[in-house]
Amino acid sequence: MSNKVVLAYSGGLDTTVIIPWLKENYDCEVIAVCVDVGQGKEIDGLEERALSTGASKLYIENITDAFVDEYVIPCVKANAVYEGKYLLGTSMARPGIAKALVDIALKEGATAICHGATGKGNDQVRFELTIKALAPHLDIIAPWRIWDIKSREDAIAYLEERNIPVPMKKKESYSRDRNLWHLSHEGLELEDPGVEPVYDNLLQMSVTPEKAPDVATYIELEFEQGNPIKLNGVAMKASDIIASLNEVGGANGIGIIDICENRVVGMKSRGVYETPGGAILYYAHNELEYLCLDKQTLAYKSQLAIKFAELVYSGEWFTPLREALSAFVDDTQKTVTGNVKLKLYKGNIIPAGATSPYSLYDEDIASFTTGDLYDHKDAEGFINLFGLPLKVRAMMKERSGLK
């Protein structure tokens, strides 16, 4: 085994254990890498913690803008939602994180990358598929599939035996993942699908709809070729738009979902996700597509969205199919330009008007008033042709006595 291992490091319980475990079991130099995708204060104090537990150095790689521009926005443009609910907050971050790990491993001359994903979870698949796609020569170490530690209690005991400070309190055992796009929660009462989440203990980005203001909040988003470019008339980069939407959406109880989803490895798991800004961005983008895309493109794109979400969820970002689907999506976005107004009220997103220079809505045609572009008499011939198969089948049933 190489004497240099790059570790995906968060400073949480698992990765705190992994540093001494790697040194004890592989006699290697551990290079810790924290990839910043907008997790905020979670990065504070990481260097001291990593070095004090045995890492030779810590990289903090800020890829927040790349995360948003290269992974989040393509998912928004594809309208990719996993199993009708999940806005892919953890899923879409993993390929960017893994790519950063690969880049540093190559820079440092390491021959292995280590991650703290469990053997039951999705992230092991997402990390490792990306590593295989970008650097197939690198070894992968997955401690949860190797070591004797079976629980968080075991991990805490491991650190205490070595006089290493435990980076969490024993009572705080929700499993969380945070980035700019979302915050996920698993564990405790969520492991019983029959129990309502204790939202007062869970929520950190949002309030419940009951605690949201009694007065609606109006916002306006502007898109150019499917990309968000302005919020309330102010030009911003996409990451700043999402950060601002998180604040206003969270304050209005937007984007809280409770889902029992199908993991890649075959089991169901239950989680609560907070995605306030993401929920708003998806909704606004959809509203603009309703205005700008023709019937067949919109219908086909909705089918494609399901497959796109499955690929992202399963860690298949760096695949020919995902790249081809993104190319199709980008082509559909050429006319998805315009403004969308929304009303936010107690967990609800309500459309309040949309405009676009490429709108396919024509008032002269759609109006109840007869105009030159649409002759009501034309509908009769259309219906006769459109309904011909039904008429032919009914005549056959009459002749044959078929019921």
Catalytic residues: 14, 94, 123, 175
Kindly report the length of the chain. Answer: 403
Residues 297/273, Cβ–Cβ less than 8 Å: no
Residue whose C-alpha is closest to residue 22's, from 131, 101, 140: 140
* Torsion on CA atoms 238, 240, 246, 249, rounded to nearest 10: -80
Whether 273 has a binding-site annotation, put simply, is yes
Residues 99/64, Cβ–Cβ less than 8 Å: no
Give the C-alpha distances (Å, rounded to integers) separating 30 from 57, 127, 171, 229, 378: 8, 18, 29, 41, 74
Whether 126 has a binding-site annotation, put simply, is yes
Whether 13 has a binding-site annotation, put simply, is yes
Whether 208 has a binding-site annotation, put simply, is no
Whether 123 has a binding-site annotation, put simply, is yes
Please state, in angstroms and rounded to a whole number, the distance separating the CA atoms of residues 27 and 30: 9
CA 117-118-124 angle, 5° bins: 50
Whether 11 has a binding-site annotation, put simply, is yes
CA 89 to chain CA centroid, Å, is 3
For residue 280, how many other CB atoms are within 10 A of its CB? Answer: 28
Please state, in angstroms and rounded to a whole number, the distance separating the CA atoms of residues 275 and 90: 11
End-to-end CA distance of the chain, in Å?
Answer: 74
Residue type at 111 in one-letter notation: T
Whether 184 has a binding-site annotation, put simply, is yes
DSSP designation for 122 = S
Whether 69 has a binding-site annotation, put simply, is no
H and E: helices and strands count for the chain? 15, 14
Whether 10 has a binding-site annotation, put simply, is yes
Residues 6+ apart with CB under 8 A from 89: 177, 179, 181, 182, 183, 184, 273, 275, 278
Whether 300 has a binding-site annotation, put simply, is no
Residues 274/250, Cβ–Cβ less than 8 Å: yes
Please state, in angstroms and rounded to a whole number, the distance separating the CA atoms of residues 401 and 370: 44
Beta-strand (E) ranges in 168-232?
Answer: 175-178, 183-186, 217-224, 227-231
Whether 12 has a binding-site annotation, put simply, is yes
Please report, in range form, the residues annotated as the binding site for L-citrulline. 86, 91, 122, 126, 175, 184, 261, 273
Please report, in range form, the residues annotated as the binding site for ATP. 8-16, 116
Please report, in range form, the residues annotated as the binding site. 8-16, 86, 91, 116, 118, 122-123, 126, 175, 184, 261, 273
